[in-house]
Structure 1
């Protein structure tokens, strides 16, 4: 998404008001630090002379000089006069300096002197016992390379060694920031301001953050957000229950009550393939390599298809109740299926028999997702719970059970696998759960859902948007972070069952409905004409 920069003159603060918020000396010192960081030393000297302000006091300059020069005793002599944020920080900084001294003696091959420093200077401080034990063990290392690896220290002899500069950075954490300005502080403040503006932008979904200018306030153009039907896909003759983009975003699979599956080319919006499933399709899932497609129907089987040839590769008929969902592991060979009969089954898609590799007793499962790295499985079921499992070496271990307030009809994970989005039927709400803290962090309201299974999704570059169908024939879009309802999109003539967001450019998503159509939503500025 491109960026539109807008600055409203009426909202700009007067220069005097802005200046009153910032001390002139603080600003000049930040400018001095930035000029030096950028290599403009002469400009920094000129600014220092003209303003009369210095970047650091003579005391801090001397400390910096002594540390970088390895003059440890001179550096320690200054410490009683350094303005620390806490008086207890003095011994902590002494420990850091003496540790550097100890490690450099080992680097020079002076093991006995290093041992003397350890016994007479470092140990009496009583600081950081765990680190002290590590330093003691370093005396027995056979090479300086082992010392550096175990201590996570890069020495002083290598051309790009930064250990003394790193020591200064570590010391800085304990010193009053007004005396020793944190590294690249002005750049940090600018970064914070940019991040704040991005979070405040309800439609933020840029393709390149480098487009954000420092010269004006940031605001994404709403006209570039997908709110217009740019194509209506027709071909099914009954309700469409599920749609899913391929991982490369080039194709879409749709399954319907009419028992057909259609594969669509999402660049041309043409049918690539159409084939008949034995039962009405309620769920479909592309393999990670996009070469295979699993379809769950209203019967007790899962069917594996070659989506582009329309060939049925295998039927897995082991479950004793309706199979509701399935999810692939990253290897594109194994998958897990869930059903209403209280078991999960692990399958290998190339096996010649139709027995699962293994099975696990669980509650009735209605939807599931596996994280991109294959480390976790998340399921929902008729027990109104979200279940989180560790999935290691094809073994399943439950690690969390999160109780909801109503029937859950849909499950989506963020790309990083940390958050789970669910639709809660009785509440007519969507909830975003943090699976690490095990808490609901956001709620989204507005869509209608009392009778049917409605499937929502997350969309945008950073999963910034929440999109759901609804029983009032609309598509609802919220800002994930702000919970703000951004759009109520009309066009469908019956319940909108499922949403799928295209994982590549251009920015698009599709909605599938009981009205037998799939609508492709894009930017109002999209060049493809609507087929309405």
Structure 2
């Protein structure tokens, strides 16, 4: 929920009201001067000179305007991905959100803010008790509290103190999480006859699986030898459309044929692969599959809209009929293992608690092409047919739209997007890989290398400098950070280096 806005419409000339009348543009300019005078601008510029991270002034400008406009949720999203003091910042912003809701007698919303947003944060016990006590008699307890724009100005001052000192703006070099993969280090030609519809790194980053028509090509990533091919997974009759690894086990994965079956595979320590089981429903085909969180059962979406659950031995242990999924080949389980995520209609995401039958939804204003869930289970990335990619925070009820990414091309085919640490990557029908900054929505890279539609991308979370993409040109490209370049200029093709791999 957003903070109630105290501004009227009018673009850059809109008027902000507290005890005085002030042009919004003048107020925003004053807020920028406040943070920059405390050293933010100087600190930010020094970081932009570093080798791996760009800290753009536009993020600060966006954040300030969101605070001024009372957009609590959006302002948190802008900063959370680029700041180590996420909980401290959230407490300051959410405390102000609570006060503004309570001052407007929105008691229920105030209670939800405390219980669902403030209480789960670290070191929030004291503030939770303090704010809870205010709800008993709001009119008396809020006496003397600053309100409106003056209170938001105070929030900005307090945030400035958190952002600026010491090391709070120092970029994290751990595992290269702030870097965008943007050079080709290997191009793998598909030995099969099919286009590459799906690529997936294993959870521990050791293996890469890529569809090849009816088969799945398997590769092992070895530091000394690059990618080494393993025995392909052979046995599907129809083209393979979906791959999902058992997390955190690198040695088992599921593959799903188009309106066919689900197969469970195992990789031995020596690199040999074998099919452990084939799961099928009589007279029905599967279109999607997912592991249960405990790894002891699997779910599958069927081509008639039903969902089935099997244990590992193939015994059916659950079946839900009705319109609970579509032919879109995506399925996920929430981090707590309680909800199944699928598409109920072509513009609706369904969260289904199979034990109780309880449902909640995300309603999109366009047809859904694909979706993927973040590693921490907090966010969902939904690709739409109209060339938008929406980022949803799925923790609140109902889920909250955080940001929209645009710039890639999608006219006819299914193209998939994925989370890449601080970035978002997507395939595209223009034969390129597109990468955006997750915090700002800014397009930071268009990676050239394929010669046909890029259907899918996969981030290696164990080796965050690595990204893989699969294309209709029947190749898989492995991208990585150019260690010899001090800044990433993804849009400048001159900065890219095509390193020939093996085929």
TM-score by length of 1: 0.57
In the alignment, what sits opposite 2:419?
A: 458
In the alignment, what sits opposite 1:245?
A: 201
**SS of corresponding position for 1:233:** strand
Larger Rg: 1
Shift of 1:374: 1.4
Shift of 1:7: 7.0
In structure 2, the CA distance between the partners of 1:7 and 1:330, relative to structure 1 (3 Å rule), is closer
Q: Which protein, 1 or 2, shows the higher relative CO under an 8 Å CA cutoff with sep ≥ 6?
A: 2
Kindly indicate whether residue 414 of structure 2 is the aligned counterpart of residue 446 of structure 1.
no
Shift of 1:236: 3.2
In structure 2, the CA distance between the partners of 1:530 and 1:478, relative to structure 1 (3 Å rule), is same
Q: RMSD in angstroms over aligned alpha carbons?
A: 3.8
Shift of 1:478: 0.9
In structure 2, the CA distance between the partners of 1:190 and 1:421, relative to structure 1 (3 Å rule), is same
C-alpha distance in 2 between matches for 1:195 and 1:343: 55
Deviations 1:99-131 (A, max 9, x none): xxxxxxxxxxxxxxxxxxxxxxxxxxxxxxxxx
Residue segments in structure 2 that go unaligned for 5+ positions in a row: 1-44, 51-55, 58-98, 100-125, 135-140, 147-156, 486-496
C-alpha distance in 1 between matches for 2:46 and 2:191: 40
**SS of corresponding position for 1:275:** coil
C-alpha distance in 1 between matches for 2:292 and 2:308: 13
In structure 2, the CA distance between the partners of 1:381 and 1:452, relative to structure 1 (3 Å rule), is farther
Kindly indicate whether residue 459 of structure 2 is the aligned counterpart of residue 501 of structure 1.
yes
C-alpha distance in 1 between matches for 2:426 and 2:296: 31
In the alignment, what sits opposite 1:404?
A: 364
Q: Is the 8 A contact 2:217 2:230 kept in 1?
A: no
Q: Structure 1 residue aligned with 2:374, among 414, 421, 435?
A: 414
TM-score by length of 2: 0.60
Shift of 1:188: 7.1
C-alpha distance in 1 between matches for 2:46 and 2:160: 22
Kindly indicate whether residue 441 of structure 2 is the aligned counterpart of residue 483 of structure 1.
yes
C-alpha distance in 1 between matches for 2:362 and 2:166: 32
Q: How many residues are aligned here?
A: 342
Q: Structure 2 residue aligned with 1:317, among 256, 265, 280?
A: 280
Q: Is the 8 A contact 2:349 2:362 kept in 1?
A: yes
Q: Is the 8 A contact 1:252 1:266 kept in 2?
A: no
Shift of 1:329: 1.5
**SS of corresponding position for 1:299:** coil
Residue segments in structure 1 that go unaligned for 5+ positions in a row: 13-84, 86-162, 179-185, 212-219
C-alpha distance in 2 between matches for 1:269 and 1:232: 10
C-alpha distance in 2 between matches for 1:489 and 1:5: 24
Q: Structure 1 residue aligned with 2:290, among 310, 322, 327?
A: 327
Shift of 1:457: 0.4
In the alignment, what sits opposite 1:282?
A: 241
In the alignment, what sits opposite 1:265?
A: 221
